[in-house]
Amino acid sequence: MTGADHDDHPHHATERDHTPRPAVMGLAGLAAGVGIIGVAIGFATFLGLTATAGGGGDTTGFGPLLASAAGSFIVGILLVVGAVMLWRAHRAARVVIGVGVALLALSSLSRMVVDSITFISVVGTVLSLLALCAIGYLLVSDDVRDHLREGVPLRLR
């Protein structure tokens, strides 16, 4: 077997080909970014509620806010874990990210119904829904499906 024959073998080509796929990189970045924002919001809200309670402030009406903080934290963790799983080409990555996106969409839609309408709430909801649409589009892309089917983790060069 010559060196040229060795390079033409399909198994060796896939071993060397760790080219980052744009859709996979985009989905991993969006999922991780949105997840980190969710974790940060949940953690900051929890700290604020703890400080209010610790300072002797009345926190009896803050139950829904605490539930929202916990939800943001959990969905954020789910999206970050999904992004890592996608990077590592784990087959369950699409399911984990999909569940995170579904929960985030449900949260955004419920916020539209419950919250008072202000400019910032409308802008936030529209941006959230745009990010969710982008994540959903990338989640069902052929590039992501092929990446997970091949099972080769991404590498940065």
Core vs surface per residue 7-24: b (16+ CB within 10 A) or e? eeeeeeeeeeeeeebebb
95 three-state secondary structure: helix
Task: Kindly list the domain boundaries of the chain, sorted by start residue.
Answer: 21-150
Global confidence as pTM: 0.81
Instruction: List, for residues 106-156, the tens digit of each pLDDT value.
Output: 888 887 787 777 887 788 888 888 999 999 999 999 999 999 999 999 887
Closest-CA residue to 100 (of 144, 132, 58): 132
Average pLDDT of the chain, as a whole number: 85
